[in-house]
Amino acid sequence: STGGSGERPADEQDTALWAAVEKTDLDGFAAELAIAPDAPLGTVLPALADWRRRVGTLATVDHWRYRVTWKRRPDTAGAAALTGHWLAVVPERHRTDPGVTTALEALGAAGADVALLEISDADADADAEAEADADVERLEQRLRTLLADLGAAPAGVLSFLGLDLDRRHPGLPALPSGLAATLALIRALGRADVRAPLWLTTRQAVTTGEDTHPHHPLGSLIWGLGQVTALEHPDRWGGLIDLPAAPDARTGQLLCAALADAGPEDQVALRPAGAFLRRLAHAPRDRRPARRTWRPRGTVVITGGTGALGSVLARWLAAEGAEHLVLTGRRGADAPGAAGLRDELTAAGARVTLAACDVADRTAVADLLAGLAAAGETVRAVLHAAGVAELTSLADTGPAQFAAGIAAKVDGARHLTELLDHTALDAFVLFSSIAGVWGSGDHGAYAAANAYLDALAEANRAAGIPTTSIAWGVWNAFGVKGAGGISEAVDLDQLHRRGLPLIEPELGLTALQRALDRDETALTVAPVAWERFFPLFSAARSRPLFDDLPQVRALTALTAQVPGAPAQPAAEQHTGLAALPPEDRDSALLALVRGEAAAVLGFERPDQLEPDRAFRDIGFDSLTAMELRNRLAGATGLSLSAALVFDHPTPLAIAAHLKAELFGPDTDDDAFVLTELDRLAERLTGLNPDGNTRLEITLRLRSLLARWDRPDGARPAADAASAGPELQSASVDEVFAFIDSELGL
């Protein structure tokens, strides 16, 4: 039910109470504590303690509230210039789309040499279960062929696959065609070793100050996927660009300006008024009274109701007076702990139905709602908490696995939106995640699905459907009956080190109640220790999404270096390594790297990490890479680059780098010789000597090559001496003829 509420922000409640005390206003004081004016002191003290806890809780959750905003980007002076080859990846059926043609014309006018790669239906793998990588392999071969024809590496890759989301993958109906193709493109570019920045485009997938809602919320799937790509592959990430509904010449100019900008901005929306940049901001506390005091009434449906989060929500709703709780899940009453949960909720006074219903199946959702209606049950609220979180890197995620990761959240929310009686709803709550707001390594499908929930809430609200999407941090579901879900798929100690403490259920429910009282649309709620989180998150590249947060500005102003890098000289830190014989240093450094990497990833033994396997293939992202960098810096005393893992992508490579930094180059090492040859080649390229000097350099180089080619070393000294007088009087042509003869040319 709904109704008026006098609830105020925590600071105003605090002010009101003490103002009543100062004025000896007994009635006002009693009203703040919710007690009778003549209550005895024994009642006042507990009420005061309860008030203090309540105000403290409200203040805490108020600091966890954030919201995505957009700021206008100043127009750049003059036309943007692009150079080199640009690869445009276009869905075949969108080849003549105005958004595509306008963009390609603008790129050409800006100086780019555009090569087109069209993706057709034939490129999709219809038998995705049997050949999960077939589409990636085909695309990789096409990329290699195209790049060979170009004869040069591309300066950038611009994908329009995000425009093709209305159709479904032929073998995986849960997966929009353009999303499957984008995933395949990301993986194929990695396999083909294309290092050019990748830019992903969508159309009206996000909400800016120029529009009130996303017109195509499915496009937000690309934004969620892009956020994870930026974390897992920062060295080849460009950004996300949202196009307007009606692109024109100005749109093309804005697009080229975004692509040509060497700065960090990687999340841009183009609108008739200009370019807008995505930012995260603290959600301001509304000083007005809440719209209502939301309480559950009638029938309330919780999808994923027997899981970790679902069980927390069910207990809360029962305590708040819910009359009938419908807990859905694919296994219904057969889910672990379901029967015990039903008994507990029934004892609390609620009527409980355990329904076997896969919300990704539209027919199953329709049957559930039809059955409730036939029984005279009116659904007053739905809390959509169903979802799957199987964590893998994008490089290892096939289309079938990706589809399974988004089906329950995306299709479930869409089916509920289409099938519910909106006129009877008091609340429709979508449980989203911060992974969809700013990304998280190994969460590709999970981030895409949750980004969609946030966009769907905006679109629903514009259509008059009372929808609230909250992007949460990780709830503390451990110790909760029926625990499972995302909180069991993560390392809690690692989360804390990264600056993301868990949300305790009591505080999470308080934040949920406040959002429902205010009937909010899209909100992010997460406890973030920015002094730990931001330096790690931004280690591999800048993350301008957070630039406007006061905590981040303070961190940027205080230090230009990521905290954790030791300032001690290396000589004071690696005495143990220095004491080792030179022949033992390689193995000792490799053991150090593998040991620290195993600790970061939570492996039981260092030997579980293969020395020559890439870090990104074993689960490293920009955050774990930064943690490994800090650990190695602390162990060696070196000031190591924030991009250490990306510049030296295997344990062997980092060990070699540490050895060179600690002890200098190994002159007996083959790699050292090759490095010296590279330096010599670079030096010779820059020389412009006279004829005699050039001849002398040439003779010495050819003589060196002749000795290298002969297994017995240099030519006997007598032979060399006898050639001396002859060479002294020879012409240049005769000298070269002599050298060619000596080399067997």
pLDDT in tens, 340-356: 999 999 999 999 999 99
CATH class belonging to 299-528: alpha beta
The model's pLDDT over 581-629, given as tens digits with 9 standing for 90+, comes to 777 788 888 888 988 888 888 787 787 888 888 887 787 876 788 788 8
Confidence of residue 715 (pLDDT cuts 50, 70, 90): very low
CATH fold for the domain made of 72-278: Rossmann fold (3.40.50)
Tokens representing 127 are 């038998």
- The fraction of the chain above a pLDDT of 70, given in percent, is 83
What pLDDT, on the 0 to 100 scale, is given for residue 181?
95
Helix (H, G, I), strand (E, B) or coil at 369: helix
| pLDDT the model gives residue 47 | 74
Q: Lowest-confidence range among 300-314, 565-579, 724-738?
A: 565-579
Q: What is the mean pLDDT of residues 106-120?
A: 95
The predicted model gives 68-80 an average pLDDT of 86
Residue range 232-279, pLDDT digits in tens: 998 899 999 999 999 999 999 999 999 998 789 999 999 999 999 999
**CATH 3.30.70.1060: does it fit domain 570-671?**
no
Specify which residues 356 forms β-bridges with.
329
At residue 647, the pLDDT reads 82
Checking if the pLDDT of 363 tops 90, the result is yes
- What confidence tier does 569 reach under pLDDT thresholds 50, 70, 90? very low
pLDDT of residue 549: 93
Interval 432-440 mean pLDDT: 96
The mean pLDDT of 410-438, rounded to a whole number, is 97
| pLDDT tens by residue, 441-468 | 889 999 999 999 999 999 999 999 999 9
Higher pLDDT among residues 54 and 739, named by residue: 54
Where is average pLDDT lowest: 77-81, 216-220, 245-249, 504-508? 77-81
Q: Is residue 148 pLDDT above 70, yes or no?
A: yes
- Encoding tokens for residue 329? 């899940």
Phi-psi region of 642 (alpha: psi -120 to 50; beta: other; left: phi over 0): alpha
pLDDT at 321 over 70: yes
SS3 content of the chain, % helix, strand, coil (to 5): 50, 15, 35
Mean pLDDT of 414-435: 96
User: How does DSSP assign 194-212, residue by residue?
Assistant: --SPEEEEEES-S--TT-S
Q: Are 489 and 478 in contact (CB under 8 A)?
A: no
User: What does the pLDDT read at residue 707?
Assistant: 73
Give Cα separations from 171 to 176, 262, 553, 603 (angstroms).
11, 40, 47, 36
The closest alpha carbon to 406, from 460, 358, 450, belongs to 450
Average pLDDT (352-367) is: 96
The mean per-residue pLDDT over the stretch 36-56 comes to 73
The closest of 191, 174, 177, 84 to 133, measured between CA atoms, is 191
Say if residue 398's pLDDT is above 60: yes
Q: How far apart are the first and last CA of the chain?
A: 95
- Across residues 540-545, what is the average pLDDT? 91
pLDDT beyond 60 at 520:
yes
Label residue 713 by pLDDT band (50, 70, 90).
very low
3-state secondary structure 110-154: CCCEEEEEEECHHHCCCCCCCCCCHHHHHHHHHHHHHHHHHCCCC
Nearest to 413 by CA among 369, 371, 365: 365
Q: Does residue 493 have a pLDDT over 60?
A: yes
Determine the pLDDT at residue 568.
Answer: 38
- For residue 733, the model assigns a pLDDT of 64
CA distance 586 to 647: 19
- What residues contact residue 577 under an 8 Å CB cut-off, 6+ apart? 585, 588, 589, 636, 662
**pLDDT tens track for 473-485:** 999 875 444 344 4
Mean pLDDT calculated for residue range 100-106: 96
Mean pLDDT of the 81-93 span: 95
| Region 69-92 average pLDDT | 90
Single-letter amino acid, residue 500: L
Per-residue pLDDT, averaged over 48-56, amounts to 76
Q: Which of 523, 432, 436 is nearest to 227 (CA)?
A: 436
Question: Within 10 A of 349 (CB to CB), how many other CB atoms are there?
Answer: 11
Mean pLDDT of 307-327: 96
Helix (H, G, I), strand (E, B) or coil at 706: helix
- Token pair of 359 as six digits: 């919300």
How many percent of the chain have pLDDT more than 90? 53
Alpha-carbon separation of residue 175 from 436, 451, 598, 634 (angstroms)? 17, 15, 35, 45
* The predicted structure's pLDDT at residue 4: 35
Mean pLDDT of the chain: 84
pLDDT higher at 635 or 477? 635
Q: How far is CA 9 from the centre of its chain?
A: 33
Q: What is the CA radius of gyration of the chain?
A: 32
Separation between Cα atoms, residue 333 and residue 329, nearest integer Å: 8
Lowest-pLDDT choice from 544-548, 592-596, 687-691: 687-691
Q: How confident is the model at residue 696 (pLDDT cuts 50, 70, 90)?
A: confident
- 275-291 confidence digits (pLDDT tens): 999 999 999 766 677 77
Q: Give CA separation, 254 vs 77, 108, 609, in Å.
A: 11, 14, 46
- What is the phi/psi pair of residue 441, to 5°? -60, 145
Mean pLDDT (whole number) for 180-200: 95
Q: Which residues contact 194 (CB under 8 A, 6 or more apart)?
A: 143, 147, 153, 154, 157, 236
